[in-house]
Amino acid sequence: MNRTRFKSDDRDDPRAVAAGIITEWLAEPDHFPERSLSRVKRNRAFVTELVYGVVRRLLTLEWIENQFMSHSPPRPVQAILHIGVYQLIFMDDVEEYAAVHESVGLAEEGWRGLINAVLRRVQRERTFVLRRLSRAELTARYSFPDELVRRWTRHYGETDTARLCEWHNEPPQTCVRPDPRRIDAPAFEARCREAGIELVPHPFRARDRCFVLPRGVAVPDVPGYREGLFTIQDPSTLTAVDLLDPQPGETVLDACAAPGGKLQVMAARMNGEGRLVAMEKHADRVDRLRENLERTRDGWVELRIADATEPPSPEEQETFDAILLDVPCTNTGVLRRRADARWRFSPARLKKLNRLQTALLDAALPRLRPGGRLVYSTCSLEEEENEKLLRGWVSGHPDAHFAKARKNFPPRSHSDGSYAALVRKIPREDS
């Protein structure tokens, strides 16, 4: 059977489209499904749910299918089975008959018997399957790679690991933060209510208030979107900015700035007074950053496409009062938002990122004036790129002093996972 050919290879059939994308992803797991999804024009919501659902629940789906068959069929058949089982187990709003019948119809003749047999058994024995699944190992139960489950169990224990896995499998919330320069939180809530949008205050404690958008409300439909009255922000992102505490009149650097979530909060806190420099290495990410700043009327922020691991020029030495270093990381605190990221985690990738994170810290310190503040932050839960890396780096730099750190661990934090540490550069007379 061809890698991506299906019996009903029909651009209008959402299941066929999803099966095609999943087959490609099974062959090349590093190929991001969102690129293929961005080309889908029809039934996009359903295709997206099938693709992300299967990508997220892959190990669970394989575990269920393996209860009813003894060897693995070719990839296109696996994709059809995954789509069928996903609908039967996880999609309450899909008719079981359609889930089975339409999935079987996607396959070439020779594979239909197998697909039909497996899907019918899953349909008939659903309750029994779910009961067995609830007692299965965490990897199968929540569909996480063994590497992550083992390291989380070691650090956080089995109960918290199970809760974390459950959290990462839930659909992410969209949160918004009214910009206090333009509107206060009660007035923003009232404007949304008038527009028929009932916001839910987010329980996370930070200086700025965040609200959860009801499901199905598109961000551009929220009042004040075009006027830049709010930013789209998981509240965990506020921790790093709260720790850095940029002040009006200061000279501040955001060294890894795109797409600009934390930068927008810093711009609001500085209120156009002082200098705020946004550095970003990847030019293709700067357009989105610029758009975000234009929406919140923060054109005063200086954008610079540059590699923040490069040492500063002589004029830039010790110029900044405060630096935010929101480094690239393994993203293990935000897996809810990236269905495929759990499969990309590996110790080798973590080590490679550690080299970049250390190089970014090394190049940031000489840019900071003595007495200045640096916040190192990630959206990771792994100590090797959080507390361990930061403590090790500080101990090798006598002019850096570790002040404090905060970690947001979902679901306890009710937010995405993140880590942020405040480091002070020791003033010269003390060093």
The residue among 179 and 280 lying less far from ligand SAM, judged by its C-beta, is 280
Binding mask 320-349 for ligand SAM (x = CB under 6 A): ------x-x---------------------
Report the candidate in 400, 392, 391, 396 with the shortest Cα–Cα distance to residue 368: 400
DSSP at 366: G
**Judged by CB under 6 A, does residue 280 bind ligand SAM?**
yes
Selected binder of ligand SAM within 7, 121, 181, 285 (CB under 6 A): 285
**Judged by CB under 6 A, does residue 259 bind ligand SAM?**
yes
Q: Total residues contacting ligand SAM (rule CB under 6 A)?
A: 18
| Torsion angle of C-alpha atoms 38, 199, 57, 124, degrees rounded to 10 | -110
Enumerate residues 238-257 that contact ligand SAM by CB under 6 A: 256-257
The residue among 80 and 277 lying less far from ligand SAM, judged by its C-beta, is 277
Q: Could you tell me the end-to-end alpha-carbon distance of the chain, in angstroms, rounded to an integer?
A: 69
The residue among 50 and 258 lying less far from ligand SAM, judged by its C-beta, is 258
Residue with nearest beta carbon to ligand SAM: 256
Q: How far is the CB of 277 from ligand SAM (least distance, A)?
A: 12
**Cα angle at 41 between 35 and 45, to 5 degrees?**
80
Distance (Å, whole) CA 278 – CA 269: 15
**Judged by CB under 6 A, does residue 382 bind ligand SAM?**
no
**Judged by CB under 6 A, does residue 295 bind ligand SAM?**
no
The residue among 95 and 287 lying less far from ligand SAM, judged by its C-beta, is 287
Report the candidate in 376, 371, 109 with the shortest Cα–Cα distance to residue 240: 376
Q: Which amino acid is at 238?
A: L
Return the beta strands (E) in 183-233 as ranges. Answer: 200-201, 211-212, 230-232
Whether residue 261 is annotated as binding a ligand: the answer is yes
Positive or negative torsion for Cα 123, 125, 130, 133: negative
Cβ atoms of 237 and 243 closer than 8 Å = no
Cβ atoms of 389 and 377 closer than 8 Å = no
Q: Could you check whether the bond before residue 411 is cis, i.e. omega within 30 degrees of 0?
A: yes
The residues pairing with 177 across neighbouring beta strands, listed in sequence order, are 231
**Judged by CB under 6 A, does residue 232 bind ligand SAM?**
no
Whether residue 30 is annotated as binding a ligand: the answer is no
The residue among 166 and 294 lying less far from ligand SAM, judged by its C-beta, is 294
Cβ atoms of 52 and 100 closer than 8 Å = no
379 among known catalytic residues: yes
Whether residue 387 is annotated as binding a ligand: the answer is no
Q: How far is the CB of 246 from ligand SAM (least distance, A)?
A: 13
Cβ atoms of 421 and 400 closer than 8 Å = no
**Judged by CB under 6 A, does residue 423 bind ligand SAM?**
no
**Judged by CB under 6 A, does residue 235 bind ligand SAM?**
no
Positive or negative torsion for Cα 203, 412, 146, 330: positive
Among the listed ranges 141-149, 159-167, 277-285, 342-350, the one in contact with ligand SAM (CB under 6 A) is 277-285
The residue among 54 and 258 lying less far from ligand SAM, judged by its C-beta, is 258
Binding residues for ligand SAM, rule: CB under 6 A, are: 237, 256-262, 279-282, 285, 307-309, 326, 328
Name the binding residues for S-adenosyl-L-methionine.
Answer: 256-262, 280, 307, 326
Active site residues: 379
